[in-house]
């Protein structure tokens, strides 16, 4: 069974409660029932680091599923393809090109999505 790990860094969130609401909304969007871990992120003011671990539904096509899951949150994502493992790692950096799928996601500053081995 393949699992994914999604690390999110938020911005402009002045309370832990706001960070938790954001994390819950992301979990709901990804149909991830495992919950999350959240902690203060010291490098940015009013920001949190959120870790979500979930299960891949399609064990045979995790590349397509990875792209589809992350696209539920926002775009564009940078894709790193590992040919030997036939897996991808996706990275997001907020920019003027960012398109959030939900207006409540606009506090997302940075993200990394990868398959756990």
Is the pLDDT at 58 greater than 80? The verdict is no
Q: Which residues contact 30 (CB under 8 A, 6 or more apart)?
A: 6, 52, 54, 69, 72, 73
pLDDT at 23 over 90: yes
Once rounded to an integer, what is the mean pLDDT over residues 84-103? 95
DSSP 58: -
- Across 43-69, average pLDDT: 92
Return d(Cα 98, Cα 35) in angstroms, integer.
Answer: 26
Q: Is 92 exposed, middle or buried (0-12, 13-18, 19+ CB in 10 A)?
A: buried
Whole-prediction pTM: 0.94
Percent pLDDT > 70 in the chain is 99
């Amino acid at each position: 069974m393949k699992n994914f790990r999604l690390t999110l860094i938020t911005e402009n969130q002045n309370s832990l409660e706001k960070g938790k609401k954001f994390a819950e909304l992301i979990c709901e969007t990804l149909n991830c029932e495992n919950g999350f871990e959240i902690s203060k992120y010291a490098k940015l003011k009013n920001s949190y680091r959120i870790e979500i671990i979930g299960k891949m539904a399609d064990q045979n096509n995790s590349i397509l599923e990875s792209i589809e899951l992350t696209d539920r949150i926002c775009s564009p994502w940078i894709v790193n393809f590992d040919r030997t493992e036939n897996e991808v790692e996706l990275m997001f950096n907020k920019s003027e090109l960012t398109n959030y799928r939900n207006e409540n996601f606009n506090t997302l500053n940075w993200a990394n999505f990868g398959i756990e081995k």
